Structure 1
Amino acid sequence: METSSVPSLNGAYGITGNPVANNEITEETFLQLLTVQLQHQDPLQPASDLEFIQQMATFASLEQQRITNDNLEVLQVYQGSINNSNALGIVGKDVKIFDGSVTHEEGDVHTFYFQDDSEAVRAHLEVRDEAGDIVYTTQLPAGQDGEQRFLWNGRDDDGNVLPAGKYEATIRLENADDEYFQTPVFQTKRINGVSYENGTIMVLVDGDRLPIEQVVEVYEPGYAGTNTAEGPEDGGGEEATSDPDFKTNWPFTVIAGGR
């Protein structure tokens, strides 16, 4: 029995071009199909007005979707350009930024803030060096909603002056049920520059690159103070609490209620 090949529908009806992958139909393919359908419909049984209107509505929808997608791409580029320009405006400004790290030099006193919670009974502070080793730990009073401030003069648990380098302070709050939860630590720092990395804006502070999303407030230079200040040589400062469970060799000052 002889066999014969059957031409593809595309070839039979004059539709050219590459096949559409994943069964997706493009605007051009749809228009070709609609044109071929009109050319080859039975003159005695043409497509009904309703069917034709539905097909044209589908075509209009595809066209609108294409235009919308093009506009969205333009808006994304435009928005990215605006964001980049706005980021340049904070260079040289002081910002409040979620960041517990500092570049310490001998004699510096670093000012940190943390978000307190009324359900907390105490805050546990840890300071780590670049190697991740804990160099200072203590407890801070807690239990007030809002910002709390503490100062660190760069000394360890024994009151020894620590060498210059990178350090990071973290705070964990403890509630009455002995449950612990992390709370953000933030500082006021000067923005030295910005960089653009893989579509993300990074701010340059103290030699670090941090996502701009970590910036929560922007100030004119000097308005909000700085993250370091000259402290007393003996590292003294007022005692934060009379609780005997707290260490007495405090290199920290806690100021209740924020700045």
Structure 2
Amino acid sequence: MQKATQSLGQDDFLRLLTTQLQNQDPMQPMDNGEFLGQMAQFSTVSGIQDMQASMSQLASSLQSNQILQASMLVGRDVMVASDVSYLTDEGTLQGGVDMPAGGQLIVDILDSSGQVVRNMDLGVQGAGVVRFGWDGTTESGEALEPGAYGMQARMLLGNQTYALDTLAVSRVNSVDLSSNGLMLDVRGLGSVSLNDVWQIG
């Protein structure tokens, strides 16, 4: 048994209007203003429905385009805000720091227990995103295992020290469409929103 529709289409409206005209009291015919008002009301409703359908199609098209663009990131490196980055099997960890102004930049690399395993003085840097790399070795030259390592950055400006946010650079393993939007599975970082990507490559 088919479920009865709960909405009126254009044909239904015109059929009702024709029936209303045919059965109106000839001594008290429908006022022209009332007739035009009903037509205008239907046109408005119909226009809104058409606009909603168009917006739905546009949203679907934009989402499909976004998914296609995100899928092209698989296998590529992205830069995202994070205090953790990934040391690869090749022995390289890449990161960045968003410098609000020029100053001396120092980055510490930390192990899983929070201990500093490498202190890197990157010298005086200008404002903007400064990228850096770590070869996976400690201060004594010991090579550490691949995996996730913490990052801390600070800027020395005169006699003042300022803590700065760090950025991680790592590879996209896969793309997933969830209720939170498009999410990237980034190696060593887990699930990251596409909107949180600072740079590609």
Q: Does 2:46 match 1:63?
A: yes
Aligned to 1:215: 197
Q: Match of 1:201?
A: 182
Structure 1 residue 116 corresponds to structure 2 residue 99: yes
TM-score by length of 2: 0.65
Q: Larger Rg: 1 or 2? A: 1
Secondary structure of residue in 2 paired with 1:191:
strand
**Number of aligned positions between the proteins:** 190
> Cα RMSD (Å) of the superposition?
4.2
State the one-letter code of the partner of 2:56. Answer: E
User: 1:216 & 1:142 partners in 2: Cα distance?
Assistant: 23
> Counterparts of 2:161 and 2:36 in 1: how far apart (Å)?
65
Q: Secondary structure at the match of 1:90?
A: coil
- C-alpha contact 1:114 1:183 (8 A) present in aligned 2: yes
Unpaired segments of 5 or more residues in structure 2?
none
Whether the 8 Å CA contact 1:126–1:171 is kept in 2: the answer is yes
User: What is the aligned partner in structure 1 of residue 74 from structure 2?
Assistant: 91
Give the alignment's TM-score, normalised by structure 1: 0.53
Shift of the 85–96 alpha-carbon distance from structure 1 to 2, 3 Å rule, reads: closer
Higher strand share: 2
Render the CA deviation track for 1:92-124: whole Å, top value 9, x for unaligned. 3x3342154333368824232222222x65556
Unaligned runs of 5+ in 1: 1-16, 19-25, 220-259
Q: 1:51 to 1:192 in 2, by over 3 A?
A: same
Between the aligned partners of 1:76 and 1:142, the Cα distance in structure 2 is: 46
2:65 aligned with 1:82, yes or no? Answer: yes
Task: Quote the Cα distance in structure 1 between the aligned partners of 2:154 and 2:193.
Answer: 23
SS at match of 1:108: coil
Give % identity. 21
1:197 aligned partner, one-letter code: S
Give the distance between the partners of 1:43 and 1:172, measured in 2 at CA: 88
Matches within 5 A, 1:1-259: 31=13, 35=17, 43-92=26-75, 94-100=76-82, 101-104=84-87, 108-118=91-101, 121=103, 123=105, 125-130=107-112, 133-135=114-116, 141=123, 144-154=126-136, 159=140, 161=142, 163-164=144-145, 165-171=147-153, 182-187=164-169, 189-198=170-179, 200-207=181-188, 208-218=190-200
Distance in 1 of aligned mates of 2:90 and 2:65:
41
Structure 1 counterpart of 2:94, one-letter code: T
